[in-house]
Amino acid sequence: MTGRLYGVGLGPGDPELITVKAARLIGAADVVAFHAARHGRSVARSVAAPYLREGQVEELLVYPVTTETTDHPGGYQGAIDEFYESAAARLAAHLDAGRDVVVLAEGDPFFYGSYMHMHKRLAHRYPTEVVPGVTSVSGAAAAVGRPLVERDEVLTVLPGTLGADALAERLAGTDSAAVMKLGRTFPEVREAFDRAGVLDRALYVERATTNQQRTLPLADVDPASVPYFSLALLPSPLTGEMPVPCRPAPGGGQVGEVVIVGLGPGARHWTTPEAADALTCADVLVGYGPYLARVPVNPRQERYPSDNRVEADRAAHALELARSGRRVAVVSSGDPGVFAMAAAVLEVAGRPEFAGVPVRVVPGLTAAQAVAARVGAPLGHDFCVLSLSDVLKPWDVVVDRLRHAAAADLVIALYNPRSRHRPHQLGEAQKVLLENRSPDTVVVVGRDVGGPEERLTVTTLGDLDPTTVDMRCLVLIGSSQTRVGSAGAVWTPRTYPA
């Protein structure tokens, strides 16, 4: 007996719009599969999350390419076809073992859905059932409160990828329309509505039915702000002019929230889904200017960049904004709890005037973890993390801690190793470490890891040149057991000699 394959529609985004049958099947499935781009964030899984249970196997199906270029010999289509074949084979292995598999699909599985590619490859081999879902078109029409069609009118559903000429021709010849797949296609879609003479009655809906929903006239939309999960509507002309409903904004005495978000060390795909969600939901972004610049601009959000040495003022500003009803994201690089903004905000939040303002911390990938992963596994055994900055602690405390860490034979991750204001301290730290460590101790210097200027250097404690290190670097000092393999990988064994 094989398992059963289910293609389950989740509706347009609101988890309460999942059908009773879909919720039951999601909760009962042995395996739940869902698609995501390379960043790993799955809209489908986030919608289905209330119905998942402990112990289920999750199969994350990550597209090899979405809008990026590819060096696959078959080009974009070759890469995608290979991915679908591989994904189908993974699901087939579960089905062959007798496990029921639910493939999650935003909206309806057979309405521009990714599930259909699994269906074409598996439905003829296994018992299969498709559970329909509320489409994004229906969700968008409900969001703006406008009927799509009535009586004998014609509704046309179009992909924004058709191009302006084809879209304009079809828009001019229909009563009502929905244009999907916006994002990068939006400028041509808007041009098509204008050329068809219907831009004045077209509406825009973003992330329909979710708490991030946005609706406004299509003519007023900033093209730079349009995500993929949005569509353009041309409602029925028979409905006449109807106001577009607005979602209530926070305010009126409400207390907002401060979320302290870690972006990770550099590359965008190292930002966790939880962090990306917190940034998207925020009304206001607060942070050190260069870190704030890493977050894509959204015109509905306010931004308050500031200097790196005003953490307390930045924290107070964020808490004041939240107290007035705003949702505030305080942006940190790496993990906000590691030499970053989490401690600063929580310290200021303890003041009486900020009592009752919710504060939460969203973790991020640390620079130490990123550098370690790039070279292998130097943090495979006990390690510690130290900052060489003496701005908030005396230098003699830094030296004392370095001596103890070196004597304990811990791997040491050094943050804030050398700045223009502290050019001598890494050299002094090197001398302190050499009191207890061999000059042959392995050292890794990672600069701008995950960024466009990434550089990794593997050297020794004796040969380390402090003048090559700056504030964009993280320095890993190995223990006596840290090794460099023949292929260049650095690792610290999990065992330690007696």
Tokens 């999650």 sit at which residue? Answer: 104
- Tell me the C-alpha distance between 287 and 308, whole Å: 9
- Tell me the C-alpha distance between 393 and 380, whole Å: 29
10 Å CB burial of residue 187 (0-12, 13-18, 19+) is: middle
Contacts of 402 (CB under 8 A, 6+ apart): 386, 412, 429, 432, 433
What's the pLDDT at 244? 39
CATH C-level class of 5-133? alpha beta
pLDDT digits (tens, 9 = 90+) for 324-373: 888 999 999 999 999 889 999 999 999 999 998 999 999 999 999 999 99
Q: Residue type for 125, please?
A: R
Order of strands across the sheet that contains 203-206: 155-159, 176-180, 230-234, 203-206, 214-217
The CATH number of domain 137-239, selected from 3.30.950.10, 3.40.710.10, 3.40.309.10, 3.40.50.620: 3.30.950.10
Within the chain, all domains assigned CATH 3.30.950.10 are found at 137-239, 368-491
- In this prediction the pTM is 0.59
- Tell me the C-alpha distance between 180 and 112, whole Å: 9
Within the chain, all domains assigned CATH 3.40.1010.10 are found at 5-133, 257-365
Mean pLDDT of 161-174: 95
pLDDT digits (tens, 9 = 90+) for 276-333: 888 888 899 999 998 999 898 888 889 999 887 788 999 999 999 999 888 999 999 9
Mean pLDDT of 144-154: 90
Q: Is the pLDDT of residue 254 over 70?
A: no
CATH entry 3.40.50.300 includes domain 257-365: no
Tokens 């670097």 sit at which residue? Answer: 473
Domain 368-491: CATH superfamily is Tetrapyrrole methylase, C-terminal domain (3.30.950.10)
